[in-house]
Structure formats: C-alpha cells, structure tokens
Amino acid sequence: MAGWLGELELAYAWQQGRTVACRTYASAPLKLQRSFYPEGGHICHNVLLHMAGGYVGGDRLQQTITLQPHCHALITTAAAAKVYGRAQQPVDNRVHCHIGEGASLEWLPQETIVFNGAQYRHQLHIELATTAQVCLWEMTRFGRTARGEAFLTGHWRSHIDVWQAGVPLWIDRQHLDGTLCTALNGLAGRTLVGTLAWIGTTVTPDQIMALRELASPFQGELGVTRLIRGVVCRYRGHSTPELRQWFMAAWHLLRQTLHPDQPRHHPRVWPL
C-alpha cells in the first residue's frame, strides 16, 4: 500500500517526584515536541505533531503509549487532523495505551476533519491497571463545512475499548458512511460529533447532575451517561467552539472533583 508508515513509542516513568518521558521514539510523519510542565512536575504535557499536514489513503499510523506506576501525562495534538478523500485506500490509525498502577493518562487530541470521500479507521485500545485512570475525548467533523463541503461518500470507523485488569469497562464501536449523514438514524444533518469519557474511577450521581447542568446552555444535542466505573459525555451538532467549550468545562469539573489538589492548565496549543 502507498502512504506513510508512521510509528510513535512514548513511555513515561516516575523519577524524583516528576513524570518524565523516558522513551520518545517517532518516525515520519509523526513527531513529538519536548515535554512541558505547566501544572508542576507531577503532570507531563506532550504535544504530538503530524508533519505531513494531513492523512491520505494508505497511511498507517501505530502509536504505543506506556505509563509506569504513579505517572500522570496529558497528550494533545498541535492542530486539527485532516483526513483527505482523494485516494481510494483507507487511513488506519491505531493507538495502544498501557497505564500502570496509580497512573493517569489524559488523551485529548484536537478535532479530526474527515473530508468527503475519505476512508478513516481509528482504533484506541487502553489497558488500565487496577488503580489507573484515563480521560479521553474524540471530536470529529464530517466534511469541510466552512467551504460548503458535505460528507457524501466514504466511511469513518471509530473503535474504542478500555480494559481494567482484564475486565472490559467500556467498548464503543461507531461506523458512519456518507449516506448516514443526512439519515434520521444517523446524524440527521448534523456535521459534528464528540465523545468524552473518564474511565477507571467511580463517578457519583451528584457529579453526573453537575455535568448535565453544564450541558444545559448549549444548542447541540448532548448526553451524559454514568458507567460502572466512569462517565461518558456525547455531543451531536454543528459548532466546534460549542463542543470545545462543553468538553473543556466537563474536563475541568471532573479534574477538580477527582483530583482536587491538582491545578488545571490548558495546553498552550488549544484555541481558547
């Protein structure tokens, strides 16, 4: 198959009271910026770059992220990911995360824009130790709506599964093709979907109510679902700023209630 074969191997260790990126191997088109510590040494911020400017058919990306016990890392991307639709081959993006005891990963990439005709397959597999946690979100826009483009052909698949000590906590399978963007059993004309999940810890009914109150001012279709060990927030609508605003507010609330002693600082690359 034509296209890039990009790899990322990123591992964190707890050293002298700091989370340190001890393994940072990346091959083109992937690149990792140096670590930042805006919240103190216990939380390591990293920004992932895609140097080619977008995905094309035949690209295969494999990312492996490992957190040793007690580490806390926040990983985001420098800009929105663009999946072009010119080639007839799919783009395959796989991320595998292993999170050790007492460790916490925040996987918070910026949005993905799936162009008309694109074929995109995204798989996120996370293995949690017994006391580990993960916060993740996924924001996907179908078609370059700013240019009047609709997602009429192509397909998008998102497979997310989170396991803890060999037990599945959350398995999410989504598949959308161009015919479902306007269908009532699909997006019903909406062009943007989002999922935020915090998995690995118990979320109280009061926290669920607080998340729903945060969602009430927005115009899109929003939902909050409590899991056995976590929570999932959903969005379906048209506005990227609205989606960002709600997800960031939900992230703030969960951060504050689950980790009250940790300050909250946005990654510097996020548009505010």
Q: How big is the chain by its Cα radius of gyration, in Å? A: 18
Q: Tell whether the model's pLDDT for residue 162 goes beyond 90.
A: yes
How remote is the C-alpha of 140 from its chain's centroid? 10
| Single pTM value for the model | 0.95
> CA nearest 35: which of 16, 22, 26?
22
Whole-angstrom distance, CA of residue 131 vs CA of residue 126: 14
Distance separating alpha carbons of residues 20 and 145, to the nearest angstrom = 40
Condensed to tens digits (0 to 9), the pLDDT of residues 40-94 reads 889 999 999 999 889 999 999 999 999 999 999 999 999 999 999 876 789 999 9
**Predicted pLDDT at 248:** 94
Bridge partners, residue 9, by sequence: 25, 64
> pLDDT tens for residues 4-53?
899 999 999 999 999 999 999 999 999 999 999 998 889 999 999 999 88
Q: Following CA atoms 74, 97, 85, 52 in sequence, which dihedral angle do they give, to the nearest 10 degrees? A: 60
Cα 91–Cα 133–Cα 240 angle in degrees, nearest 5: 50
Contact of 243 with 235, CB cutoff 8 Å: yes
When pLDDT is cut at 50, 70 and 90, the band that residue 1 belongs to is: low
pLDDT at 184: 78
Which residue, chain included where needed, has tokens 């969005």? 235
pLDDT at 210: 95
**Mean pLDDT, all residues of the chain:** 92
Could you tell me the pLDDT band of residue 269, with boundaries at 50, 70 and 90? confident
> Which residue is associated with the tokens 């826009």?
141
Residue with tokens 């639709």: 85
Q: Long-range pairs for 255-262 at CB < 8 Å and ≥24 separation?
A: 255/135, 257/207, 258/133, 258/198, 258/201, 259/104, 262/39, 262/42, 262/43
Q: State yes or no: cis peptide before 38, omega within 30 of 0.
A: no
SS3 146: helix
Looking at residue 145, the DSSP 8-state letter turns out to be G
